[in-house]
Structure 1
Amino acid sequence: MLISGLAVGAALGFVMQRGRFCVTGAFRDLWISRNTRWFTAFMVVVAIQSVGVFALDAFGVISLRTPDFAWLATIVGAFVFGFAIVLAGGCATGTFYRSGEGLVGSWMALAMYMLVAAVAKYGPLGASTKAFRSVTVPVGTVYESLGVSPWVLVLVLVAGVGLAVRHHLTRPKRFVAILPPERTGVAHVLFEKRWHPFATAAVIGVIAIAAWPLSWATGRQSGLGITTPSANAVTWLTTGDVDLVDWGVLLIAGLLVGSFIAAKASGEFKLRVPDARTAVRSVAGGALMGIGASWAGGCTIGNAMVNTAIFGYQGWVSLIFMILGTGVATKVFITGRRGTSVGRSTGKSAGASAGTSVGTTTPAGVVPA
């Protein structure tokens, strides 16, 4: 059953690469251009997953449990992580799928992220991380605190996200020049046609739901997650402890495989070497991502996408402080340096820029595929 982790990871990497699903761009858009389109797409994933997860819990397929809320570590770690993803040019998952496209800067960020996550969880910093996360309050989920059924919050979330989607779908569409297709049928849709953000989000939401029972069947009682599997992979490589190779480790391996297949088949794979400043930022951003995610108990996937779906305090507080951290880094490295909004100067939202890997708008120096 462990092999299902590889399959889920490959599917996730493929869809994220082809859909240009960039969480960093979604958060950064909120600050640069006040555009919520990609953030709405991100919340579509959360809403769809929330419906599926609570249905699985209701039918006894999984049994949701939420530990006490490590509030201090979550706040500080999430803010650091949000700041770091702007430096690194992508969050943990984005760094994985861009590595599959051949971006050497993402390789650097990914290597540092995985290494520092292992150090912060199992290495010299492990004790301090554990102590930091021991500062807790005895609450786990929002619906438990309110004393209501989780389905009440699920309905509110689905309704709110549905209204946001409707808002964006009913806005006037911009004219976009499209070249004549070179492929037909399924090949055109999979490898050539531009994917809509909301369609991409819906597919990712289904994949996120499937991850729960498949991971649960192997003894790993969680859904999608990147930080702990990354730390486990590095620790396994350095210690040889095969017990660390679980469903999650195969998941992140699948991310690289799936994104490489998508990039190669669509003609978007190309080795791209960053300049010196970009390389330094990639390394620094990756290191800060590793420590921030370890303190917060997860990254934009494990916390902001998965824990939010089960209405855990850790997830929603992380989401807020990741966005705040992204905002500060955006002010320091993007809008503050240029003295103007990238979205206004280019006529595009930052999410669109990030989604198409435009190097002039990202500190990581990502260039057009």
Structure 2
Amino acid sequence: MIVTGLLCGALLGFVMQRGRFCLTGGFRDMYIAKDNRMFYALLIAVAVQSVGVYTLIELGIVQFDAGGFSWMATIIGSFIFGIGIVLAGGCATGTWYRAGEGLLGSWIALFGYMFMSAVMRTGILGPVDQSMKSVQTSSNSIAETTGISVWVFIAIFIAIVLWVVIKELKKPKIAIPTMKPKRTGLSHLLFEKRWHPFFTAVLVGVIALLAWPLSEATGRMFGLGITAPSANILQFLVTGDNQFINWGVFLVLGIFLGSFIAAKASREFRFRMPDVKTGISSFLGGNLMGFGASLAGGCSIGNGLVMTAMMTWQGWISLLFIILGTWTASYFVFIRPQVKKKTVVSDTTITA
């Protein structure tokens, strides 16, 4: 359990750090910069995992039960989570891997995330969490609800992903000035060369697929997951109860380790202290992340990558509201201040 969890997490942390696989930035850029590349990269990772996991299910290697769909908790929680990741400066996985780079603001966000996740799971907000999740439909599976084979949905999804990827790759390339490589061979490819987001996405999808049999071999019947394991770490440190230690805990610790290794080897690791305003924002964002992800039953990885791949209502509706939450927060954090600044400058010029 320790070895496979750490290994899978380290691979994920290494790949995400080197590929700058940041879903917070990706969702934000869709709105602010009209840049959809990271969102398309997420779709690639979902497609890779979906085909792989359902193949393993057909072969009887892994099991999956979509369960019921707590629609109200998913919608509200996902929207709040989307707001939180903007304030925190990274999603759940992004916070773990950026903490491994030495970003102390991510450490602050991570503590808030772990704290509120634990409060929602076994603390005073547990009844609120359970009450909202009790409002649900009987089926979470899109295939089961519609009576159409899941492979039909997977085939349609893959066709859409291939179309958007080919369309994106055909766009004229923008020449980006690059410095002369300081390394050669494998070292250059691993630690210096900029990774394409689509290449990174394929690797993330493969690692997400690998997580299923490795996790289920320990009795944890799921793939990648960040929120519950993060809460488990804090709960274990407080109570000392070994029941909180499972494969997922070593997964998230592995993400931190893998990112640290990648950052050190690529000379990107350094401790960076946030200012007071950023630190407060990070802590608030982390708490919103923990509250929202716990309520929604998953974060941008658990819902946005894994449950989407399993073709569930929870996954796709959660992804939609995470994006909407990210856009809402981006407007108030990035766009509105600039609009006010321009208005003030304009009014000052007219008055003068």
Normalising to structure 1: TM-score of the pair?
Answer: 0.91
**Which amino acid is 1:77 matched to?**
G
Q: Distance in 1 between matches of 2:233 and 2:153?
A: 36
**Which amino acid is 1:28 matched to?**
R
Identify the residue that residue 338 of structure 2 maps to in structure 1. Answer: 338
1:10-66 Cα deviation digits (max 9, x unpaired): 000000000000000111112112221110001111011000010010000012101
1:160-215 Cα deviation digits (max 9, x unpaired): 01111101111100111111111111111000110000000000000000000000
**Which amino acid is 1:289 matched to?**
M
Q: Distance in 2 between matches of 1:260 and 1:119?
A: 28
Identify the residue that residue 327 of structure 2 maps to in structure 1. Answer: 327
| Per-residue deviation, 1:3 | 1.8
Q: Distance in 2 between matches of 1:26 and 1:177?
A: 22
Q: Distance in 1 between matches of 2:42 and 2:338?
A: 28
5+ residue gaps, structure 1: 341-369
1:115-173 Cα deviation digits (max 9, x unpaired): 11001101111122111111111121111111111110111111101111101111100
Identify the residue that residue 253 of structure 1 maps to in structure 2. Answer: 253
Q: Distance in 2 between matches of 1:95 and 1:11?
A: 16
User: Residue 221 in 1 paired to residue 226 in 2?
Assistant: no
Q: How does 1:126-165 map to 2 (within 5 A)?
A: 126-165=126-165
**Which amino acid is 1:160 matched to?**
I
| Per-residue deviation, 1:339 | 2.1
Whether contact under 8 Å (1:2, 1:218) holds in the other structure is no
Percentage of matched positions with identical amino acids: 52
Whether contact under 8 Å (1:115, 1:234) holds in the other structure is yes
Identify the residue that residue 197 of structure 1 maps to in structure 2. Answer: 197
User: Residue 311 in 1 paired to residue 315 in 2?
Assistant: no
User: Residue 77 in 1 paired to residue 72 in 2?
Assistant: no
5+ residue gaps, structure 2: 341-352
Question: How many residue pairs are counted as aligned between the two chains?
Answer: 340
Identify the residue that residue 21 of structure 1 maps to in structure 2. Answer: 21
Q: Distance in 2 between matches of 1:336 and 1:52?
A: 43
Whether contact under 8 Å (1:3, 1:247) holds in the other structure is no
Point out the more displaced range, 24-33 or 279-288: 24-33
SS of structure 1 residue aligned to 2:98? helix
SS of structure 2 residue aligned to 1:178? coil
Identify the residue that residue 302 of structure 1 maps to in structure 2. Answer: 302
**Which amino acid is 2:172 matched to?**
P
User: Residue 120 in 1 paired to residue 120 in 2?
Assistant: yes
SS of structure 2 residue aligned to 1:65? coil
Identify the residue that residue 231 of structure 2 maps to in structure 1. Answer: 231
Larger Rg: 2
Q: Distance in 2 between matches of 1:12 and 1:216?
A: 18
SS of structure 1 residue aligned to 2:309? coil
Identify the residue that residue 242 of structure 1 maps to in structure 2. Answer: 242
What is the RMSD of the two structures over their aligned residues, measured on CA atoms?
0.9
Q: Distance in 2 between matches of 1:235 and 1:65?
A: 27
Q: Distance in 2 between matches of 1:206 and 1:219?
A: 21
**Which amino acid is 2:260 matched to?**
F
